[in-house]
Structures are given as C-alpha cells and as structure tokens.
Amino acid sequence: MREIGHWIDGKEVAGTSGRFADVYNPATGEVQARVALATPAELDAAVESAAKAQIGWAATNPQRRARVMMKFGELINANMDMLAELVSVEHGKTLPDARGDVQRGLEVIEVCMGAPAMLKGEYTGDAGPGIDLYAMRQPLGVVAGIAPFNFPAMIPLWKMGPALAAGNAMILKPSERVPSASIALAKLAQEAGLPDGVLQVVNGDKETVDGILDHPVIQAVGFVGSTPIAQYIYARAAANGKRAQCFGGAKNHMIIMPDADLDKAADALIGAGFGAAGERCMAISVAVPVGEKTADALIERLVPRIEKLKVGPYTAGDDVDYGPVITKAAQDRINRLIASGVDQGADLVVDGRDLKIQGYEDGFFCGPSLFDRVTPDMEIYREEIFGPVLSTVRADSYEDALQLIIDNDYGNGTSIFTADGDTARDFANRVNVGMVGINFPIPVPLSYYSFGGWKKSAFGDLNQYGPDAFRFYTKTKTVTARWFSGIKDGASLNFKALD
C-alpha cells in the first residue's frame, strides 16, 4: 500500500514514527494509502531546517520573492488537472469542484506576486529637527499553517502564499485525511525556485499540532477547521506567545424576501447548500424565507431541483453534481442529525438518507435532504451539520429574519435575496457577520480583499489572504533617526516632543 511521508528540507522523506493514519477513497470506502504521523523529532528537524533557510529567504528582496510566486502560479496552472485529481481521489469532490479548489488558491498566489507593494513601509522626512521617521515590515521568522480536509489545495495555498511572499518560512500541516495535494504543491514551489527548507510539509495528528503550538521557534499559527478546535488552538498559541488566526465553524443563513426572484434564489440555494456535499464553511445551510407565501413558493421550487441532483464518484465526470462526504463517521453524524430533526418536529421534505450507488455501496454518500419548519431550538439548527442538508426557518418579517442571524453564535457568511436596495443596504449595515452577499449566495471575497468571519467563526484580529495576511505574517519596526547637521542640542533628561 502507498505510504505518504513528509516534505522536509526540500525532499520527500518517509516517516519514522511507525504511526500512520488511513487515507480513504471516500467513493469506495476503501483505504487507498497510509500517511505517516510525525514524531516530535521530525517536527524539530523541519523547524530547524526552516529556521536556517528563512534567514537567506528573508534577505532575498521582495521583488525576487515575487518572481518565485509568479513561477509557482504558472506551475500550479500548468498542473491543474494533476492537482485536481489528487484532491478528488482523497476528498471525493467532483473534478470541476476540485479544479475550483485549486483555482481559488491560485488566485491568492497571484495576489502574492504583488508582494512588494504589500510590504511597503512608511517614511516621514524632517519629522523633527534633523529627524527622519520610518517604519518597515519584516517577516516573523518560522510560521505554521494547519489546514482542514475540505479544501486540500486552497487553504494550504491561502496559508503558504502570503507567509512565503513576506519572507517567512512555513511549517504546513495538512489534514491527515487529504495529505497528497500539499506534498505536490511543495514540489511545485521548489521547482518555482523556492529554496529548500523554506516550506516544510509535516503530516501528523493532535500530537503534531500540539508540538507546533508549543514549539519556541514557531512565531505564528494559522488554522482553519471546527470552532472547538479553533478555540483550542487560539488559546494554546496565545498562551505560548504566538500570533494566531483561527477560523472555525459556520451556520450561514440566506434571507429570501417576498420581492426576490425566487427561481434565482432557489438555484442559488441548490449550489450553495449542496455543492461539495455541503462540506464548506461558506455553505448556506439555512434558508430564511420571509412570509408564508414566500416560504411555500420557495419550497415548491426547491423540491424538484433537489430531486434532480446526481450524487456519485468523481470518476463519473460531468454527470455528477457532488460526491461523497469525507468519512464514514461524517456520514453517520449527518444521518443522526437528520433523524434528530425528524424527532424534534421538523418537516423532512426530501430525505437523502440511505442512498446507495451501484458499484459504490460502501462509499460515504449522503443524498440531499431538505427540512421545512425548522425552529432555532432544534439540534439541526444549532449544530453545523457539514453535509448536504438544507434547513428552512420561516420568518414572519424581515426584522425577525435579521434577528435570527444576529442571535446566532456563528458569523462567517450570510446572504439576502431581494429586489429592494434599501433592504439590502440595511441588511449589509446591520448584520453582525463577516462576509455578506446581496443576491449572491456564497460571498467569498476575491483574493485582493480578505476572508474572515465574526463571532464563533473566527478567533484573532486579522483575516486570511489579501492585505490582512501580510499584516499577520509581518511585524512593524519603527526607526527614529537623527543626523547631526550643525544642530546643537545639549543633553536632556526630559521626555519631549520631537519638534
């Protein structure tokens, strides 16, 4: 059986711990590979190599680092199909969705090609008599990225791109469920000219994560995953004096106003609710139609669309809308939550449980499910299901719908479908959510902005990618310089203004 090791000091190396995690093919339910779980000594070796390599990489001027990013981007684009195949075979995504995974990561690398502009400092000449004042951005040193299973290429690229372009070295720990894309990306980065040791890929489990959080050389940690783990990583990183940006779970709502184009809203809900089997932190999992008439008309449109969805392995090509979920445990949890919704009184309009696909009976497939008349006290509303399940919560008014979102613990993304500009502006201004869509279902900002949620969806002050990422991966040094050009100024013990 294929064994996946680590990428340390510019080469692929086998693991030495004797501990492995199974890597499944979610479509068949079969173990297709084993990934090595790192020892503390292997993590130490990666960090030591990164610390040595970072010195020269930081001394490389930003323009030259940007050229490496440019070549890296070219290689990612040229190897798009190979990377997408790796994503699909380990995650289960359809190939078009896997290409989108790679593409959204590539877009962040494209922004990193402009790193010199992002890293500019500030300068004030003659801030005082003979005094110049300037600030410069410098890399932190060795940083770490801990990536989730649901975007095997995109999130590693979101983490590594800005960190590397800013002059840091990175320890990347991908999800042990989907390790291959990160190894492939490291090889492409090396081919693009990234010096050996600047990017390390260390596979592991909680032991490796704790090792990263406790390691004295690692200065910052970026994480994407569930809220409980995000809280844990943020707290432990902070206790060890590290910077941390940790992005957690979500319960994203879409309000559908009575004046909305219901066909467009229904199409948007299908894509946002069921794409990638619902395994997206930006998936819309709650539809909130305003008014009974709107709700009835929306359900009437959703049901036939959902019933036409095709679920299957990625190898079925364009005939498949989405694939399996990541593990048997995830499949079981989704089915349990659906059962809880029925038990607690929600109306299960479309039941996706017990889906079996000929030839793939052991795959981790979940058919699409639609609930109506869900209430906020139900478990299916309170929990992040992370599966192909759409819940409908009927609201009597716009204010009730808005308050539902405001009161929710999560604040990653939200959306409103309406033809009224005043309502849309009011919603955008008042809703306490980090990313807002107006007649747009999944409001993931383009890569020259920044991605980040509010409330229990994010921990830390700065967002992912865009300008915030360069702020996160650099520290500001401010220099006050005086040049004595005939200035006579005796010694003073007083704290005084420069002017």
Both 77 and 222 in a single domain?
Answer: yes
Both 261 and 324 in a single domain?
Answer: yes
Both 65 and 206 in a single domain?
Answer: yes
Q: What is the pLDDT of residue 498?
A: 58
Residue 193: pLDDT over 70: yes
Q: What is the pLDDT of residue 230?
A: 97
Whose CA is closest to 174, among 164, 182, 184, 185? 182
Residue 149: pLDDT over 60: yes
- Cα Rg, the chain, nearest whole Å: 25
Which residues are marked as active site?
A: 281
Asked, for residue 335, whether it belongs to a domain, the answer is: yes
Q: What is the pLDDT of residue 496?
A: 64
Residue 64: pLDDT over 70: yes
CB atoms < 10 A from the CB of 86, how many?
Answer: 23
Residue 155 domain boundaries: 2-248+457-479
Structure tokens at 338: 């659906």
Both 59 and 103 in a single domain?
Answer: yes
Tokens 């999992």 locate to 285
Whose CA is closest to 143, among 470, 458, 477? 470
Asked, for residue 488, whether it belongs to a domain, the answer is: no
Both 302 and 430 in a single domain?
Answer: yes
In this structure, are residues 140 and 473 in contact, taking their beta carbons and an 8 Å threshold? yes
Count: domains in the chain: 2
Asked, for residue 172, whether it belongs to a domain, the answer is: yes
Asked, for residue 485, whether it belongs to a domain, the answer is: no
- The pLDDT confidence band at residue 485, using thresholds 50, 70 and 90, is low
Both 242 and 258 in a single domain?
Answer: no
The helix (run of H) or strand (run of E) holding residue 256 is: strand 252-256
CATH at 140: 3.40.605.10
Asked, for residue 445, whether it belongs to a domain, the answer is: no
Both 29 and 69 in a single domain?
Answer: yes
The verdict on pTM exceeding 0.85 is yes
Q: What is the pLDDT of residue 354?
A: 87
Both 189 and 338 in a single domain?
Answer: no
Q: What is the pLDDT of residue 483?
A: 85
Question: How confident is the model over 453-475, as a mean pLDDT?
Answer: 95
Q: What is the pLDDT of residues 6-59, one digit of tens each?
A: 999 999 999 999 999 999 999 999 999 999 999 999 999 999 999 999 999 999
- The pLDDT confidence band at residue 488, using thresholds 50, 70 and 90, is low
Q: What is the pLDDT of residues 311-367, one digit of tens each?
A: 999 999 888 999 999 999 999 999 999 999 999 999 999 999 989 999 999 999 999
Both 198 and 274 in a single domain?
Answer: no
Residue 451: pLDDT over 90: yes
Task: For residue 284, give the 3-state DSSP assignment.
Answer: strand
Both 235 and 271 in a single domain?
Answer: no
Both 473 and 397 in a single domain?
Answer: no
Asked, for residue 9, whether it belongs to a domain, the answer is: yes
Asked, for residue 77, whether it belongs to a domain, the answer is: yes
CATH at 379: 3.40.309.10
Whose CA is closest to 216, among 184, 179, 242, 243? 242
Average pLDDT of the chain, as a whole number: 96
Both 199 and 262 in a single domain?
Answer: no
Asked, for residue 106, whether it belongs to a domain, the answer is: yes
